[in-house]
Structure 1
């Protein structure tokens, strides 16, 4: 297959990009080129579930996007991770499979994403999935993406779930049918105990097709636009400048930081901003890079009287954990990042849950000067943690271009007072969960915060000092039906022909939980929209 021309060019081989390349190349009558800046993702570090902790902030796997200091969290800043390899975020994430609530997707349609309500997107979740648990109408059985129940949950997960029940949260056997309020064990994107990224699920077999070309280690600099239409891309590979032409369409799937940055470099964005950077304006689209959303998260942890994962990291423990994983793919080496979760309301009168709970049978330190939670160090004493994140954050940020035209993030995680108030309520909720009999029976004392604040002012200080990102950026190329939206409900970029964006950046509003499953769904639905339009 020629490297100079294809019918469809997919820029970015991540969670959505691999789906698009695989689905579009099912038609033998078209040629598809998938262009990825990173490399292969078949190594042991990627395939082993626990490997995500080592891959974050590693240049070989992670884009390491930089955030400007955030005044809303005391001037702290973070590295916003993005998978830099085939599989993208699905190859570097914690493998949590959670789709979102019915209300999440119905809200998308109310915000102008016509045809993206829950009933409309549900079939695409089913199409993507091969569920390995007991048969369930909420799960698919014939899709390429392997999803499995927890293989070997830590014993402390049951205490967390019992504490949630004692607090009044129902325990759910399954949470992926659209109703997620309650508490539950995590489902994971794993196959026989190994990570199942979209590279493994969709792309690995598809690459055997003669009509699909995969180009790796290729950094796309700009989209070529002629007479108002996208006709190809310019990229660099191994120091060489190259051009790839598209006979039909260019589809950008470079993530919530990479996609808006590529549009901006290509002259698609706010006209005055582009001119200030010396970039010729191809389409004046002021919202490109704006509407950036993230789930702000914060953790409470306690000392406990029973062994936890952070108290079992000595040499003999690690040998035991590795032996258990390679013997039958169980134990902590094979677990997703968060083993039990829940959705809850911080106060009465809410229409839907406003916080997500994440239980971890461990604790970790994040010092104020640390720029990334991936650099956290676990203490040796037995501890457990409950992290909370906002399901409906009001704060927004934006993606701009740095000196080298790379993505730079500007975000106030707690820029809206409502988000601060909700996190204060969430911390009080978590404190009450720790006081439930199931958890209080093993709790020895406070660890973080220590002491526990006694008023809202104290909680606000803690919230502003400890709130972190949760690696769920979305929204920077907003989808909608209004003229100001970046893409329309068919993922077409407004003002430029033959150009689409299909990834997490098009979400008009963030989902209530982890975002990877919804991103894969976007890839499935977008592929069908493209094939139908051809």
Structure 2
């Protein structure tokens, strides 16, 4: 292995795989990609329904837990995050969503020029291969597949018709910038297989001589000299190693581990660093703050007909049939996953654009990825799109192998509580509308006893969980903003040769699933980095 490369990328997730491909593409730069987890060789990673198997698999999943959440009855919420090539794109629910036009325009308004919807749209188009065909907002030549669900499901069709009866229009494309509507999701799948960022971006680049990928290599510290990132220390095979960066270190470890690594390296709130014995290189109070996540509220219904995945998974014949469909035709539930029905709409009357998102799942279980119920069941999973509650990620010790403290502060804001109650009532209204109504035999959770606002809110506190979108902990912003961590080119304020490129730099959470937006951000970051490389020489202090 080389002792120095031009670019060190920490984390082979949604963003890291993109950067490994793009930065090594022209052959001019040497690139090393460090990934704490193993290769993505587990078959269940690549079978779309397999996230039920990887949800609790510590080999490919960090399996984090939040701190006890006072707003959630003191519960510690399970937070799965990908720990393998592809990161969370290898274990997620495969949903292909960009968010709303206003999400990105708001980023630009916050002092991040070049991040409005019209600026980002060319990169969304560049990354995607959309089977809906060409269009003003779609791409058809990119490496990441956006595949439509062609098979129709009785439950999803009833859900769509019931939503339409409540004034919500049907749509086939939720990615035009205007999401409002109901229909089927598009998925990051291709030919019955998962299309993770490792498959879409890293696999085609693995044969390049200027790209090295090291798995089971956990970064422990960014080495800073005179406020310049010059190297990365990492642990592999029980040994500590140091790799020098001739040009840049790029953190792509995600909204939980990127801020932890910054703090361990001496970049973060000075009082926090001193309290835990970390060096203070630069007081950056925003590192680890501004944590945002989508809170998932899962209403579960018993279905009056045996048409759910519960029915198939509970019987030997059902499982065999599912397996044969996938083996012979790369179709059926194994090729699609669970969440098929999509709905973006307004739960609060004062909202001027969709404020909630539904994932209609054709199975039911007490937890996402847990064993299915012994009855025919479905799940209305609904989340508030733009929560106002803010939390934090903070180191608990100078030990890089100890997970950080994670505190999302779910339901801390009054708007979030009102939206949660309205979302549950909206889900019930759709379930009680023809043609969905006769299919809903009974409401299993929250159940008929939860009727008042207080009772519904208690259900949200007792059973709410993450929908896997933590972001915002190293947010983009202007240098004069004391809580901004990176600039609009994702360079860490006050430090040379160091960028953060992952969901942590989102100033505010996008209206929907985060995988595709993060890939778009990495495509943009690659251009920033290569442009800088073309006009700036290698810094003399790290050239030798």
TM-score range for the pair, normalised by the shorter chain length: over 0.9
Are 1:289 and 2:288 counterparts? yes
Question: 2:188 and 2:268 mapped to 1: Cα distance?
Answer: 35
Aligned to 1:327: 328
Match of 1:430 among 410, 427, 430: 427
TM-superposed CA distance for 1:402, in Å, is: 2.8
Question: 1:361 and 1:59 mapped to 2: Cα distance?
Answer: 26
Question: 1:184 and 1:507 mapped to 2: Cα distance?
Answer: 27
Aligned to 2:359: 358
Native 8 Å contact 2:127 2:143 kept in 1: yes
Aligned to 2:373: 379
Native 8 Å contact 2:104 2:117 kept in 1: yes
Question: 2:337 and 2:373 mapped to 1: Cα distance?
Answer: 20
Aligned to 1:76: 75
Task: Determine helix, strand or coil for the equivalent of 2:107.
Answer: helix
Structure 2 gap segments, 5+ residues each: 534-544
Query: Deviations 1:338-365 (Å, cap 9, x if unpaired)?
Result: 1011111113221221111111122112
Aligned to 1:470: 467
Question: 2:412 and 2:20 mapped to 1: Cα distance?
Answer: 38
Task: Determine helix, strand or coil for the equivalent of 2:83.
Answer: coil
**TM-score where L is the length of structure 1:** 0.96
TM-superposed CA distance for 1:152, in Å, is: 2.6
Structure 1 gap segments, 5+ residues each: 367-372
Aligned to 2:522: 523
Native 8 Å contact 2:392 2:406 kept in 1: yes
Question: 1:211 and 1:153 mapped to 2: Cα distance?
Answer: 46
Are 1:97 and 2:96 counterparts? yes
Question: 1:148 and 1:142 mapped to 2: Cα distance?
Answer: 13
TM-superposed CA distance for 1:132, in Å, is: 2.6
Match of 2:455 among 438, 454, 458: 458
Match of 1:399 among 390, 393, 416: 393
Aligned to 2:537: none
Task: Determine helix, strand or coil for the equivalent of 1:437.
Answer: coil
Question: 1:442 and 1:225 mapped to 2: Cα distance?
Answer: 61
TM-superposed CA distance for 1:333, in Å, is: 0.9
Counterparts of 1:234-313 in structure 2 under 5 Å?
A: 234-307=233-306, 308-313=308-313
TM-superposed CA distance for 1:520, in Å, is: 0.5
Native 8 Å contact 1:271 1:286 kept in 2: yes
CA separation of 1:473/1:46 partners in 2, compared to 1, >3 Å: closer, same or farther?
Answer: same
Moved more, 313-322 or 129-138: 129-138
Question: 1:128 and 1:73 mapped to 2: Cα distance?
Answer: 38
TM-superposed CA distance for 1:182, in Å, is: 1.0
TM-superposed CA distance for 1:66, in Å, is: 2.4
Question: 2:154 and 2:478 mapped to 1: Cα distance?
Answer: 48
Aligned residues: 526
Question: 1:336 and 1:190 mapped to 2: Cα distance?
Answer: 10
Query: Deviations 1:402-442 (Å, cap 9, x if unpaired)?
Result: 34343221221111122111100111111110111110122
Aligned to 2:384: 390
Aligned to 2:413: 416
Question: 2:509 and 2:348 mapped to 1: Cα distance?
Answer: 21
Moved more, 399-408 or 123-132: 399-408
Task: Determine helix, strand or coil for the equivalent of 1:438.
Answer: coil
Native 8 Å contact 2:311 2:318 kept in 1: no
Task: Determine helix, strand or coil for the equivalent of 2:466.
Answer: coil
Aligned to 1:154: 153
Aligned to 2:539: none
CA separation of 1:4/1:55 partners in 2, compared to 1, >3 Å: closer, same or farther?
Answer: same
Task: Determine helix, strand or coil for the equivalent of 2:285.
Answer: coil
TM-superposed CA distance for 1:452, in Å, is: 4.7
